[in-house]
Amino acid sequence: MMMRMFVYLLFTSTLLAQGPPPPPNREVPSPNVSFDRILKANQEPQNWLTYGGSPLSQRHSQLTQITPANAKDLELKWVFQSRSLEKHEVTPLVVDGTMYTIQSPNDVIALNAATGKTIWTYSHKPDPAARNCCGKLTRGLAILGDKLFLAAFDARMIAIDAKTGKELWNTPAADPKQGYAFTHAPLVVKDKVIAGTAGGEYGVRGFIAAWNVNTGEEVWRFNTVPGPGEPGHETWSGDSWMHGGAPVWVTGSYDAAANLTYWGGNARLGDNLYSCSVIALDPDTGKLKWYYQFSPHDEFDWDSTQTPVLADMDWQGRSRKVMFWANRNGIFYVLDRLTGEFLRARPFVKVNWADGFDEKGRPIRVPGIVPTIAGTLVYPGNQGGTNWYPPSYSPRTGLFYIPAWENSSTTYIKGQEPPEFHEGQGFAGLFPKPGNRDDDAYGAVRAIDPKTGDRKWEFRQNAASTEAGILTTASDVLFSGGRDGTFYALDARDGKLLWQTNLGPSVAAGPMTFAVNGKQYVSIVVGSSLFTFGLREN
Residue 19 has pLDDT above 50, yes or no: no
Q: What pLDDT is stored for residue 420 in this prediction?
A: 63
Angle in degrees, CA 69, 75, 77, rounded to 5: 135
Q: How far, CA to CA in Å, does 56 sit from each of 38, 211, 304, 379?
A: 10, 21, 18, 30
Q: How far, CA to CA in Å, does 28 sit from each of 13, 98, 101, 146, 500?
A: 21, 7, 14, 11, 33
3-state secondary structure of 354: strand
Answer yes or no: are the C-beta atoms of 138 and 184 closer than 8 Å.
Answer: yes
pLDDT in tens, 174-208: 999 998 999 999 999 999 999 999 876 767 788 99
Q: What pLDDT is stored for residue 9 in this prediction?
A: 31
Phi first, then psi: what are they for 55, rounded to 5°? -60, -20
Catalytic amino acids? Answer: 301
Residue 307 has pLDDT above 70, yes or no: yes
Q: What pLDDT is stored for residue 244 in this prediction?
A: 58
Cis peptide before 419 (omega within 30 of 0): no
Of the pLDDT bands very low, low, confident and very high (cuts 50, 70, 90), residue 30 is confident
Counted residue by residue, the chain has a size of 538
- Region for 59 from its dihedrals, namely left if φ exceeds 0, alpha if ψ lies in -120 to 50, beta otherwise: left
Q: Which of 240, 126, 228 is CA-nearest to residue 181?
A: 126
Kind of pairing between the strands at 512-516 and 497-502:
unpaired
Amino acid (one-letter) located at 364:
I
Answer yes or no: are the C-beta atoms of 403 and 442 closer than 8 Å.
Answer: no
Q: What pLDDT is stored for residue 448 in this prediction?
A: 98
- List CB contacts of 159: < 8 A, sequence separation 6 or more: 147, 148, 149, 150, 167, 168, 169, 170, 193, 213, 216
- Overall average pLDDT of the 130-139 stretch: 84
pLDDT in tens, 478-496: 999 999 999 999 999 999 9
Burial of 303 (0-12, 13-18, 19+ CB in 10 A): buried
Distance CA 187, CA 262 (A): 10
Overall pTM > 0.85: yes
Q: What pLDDT is stored for residue 142 in this prediction?
A: 98
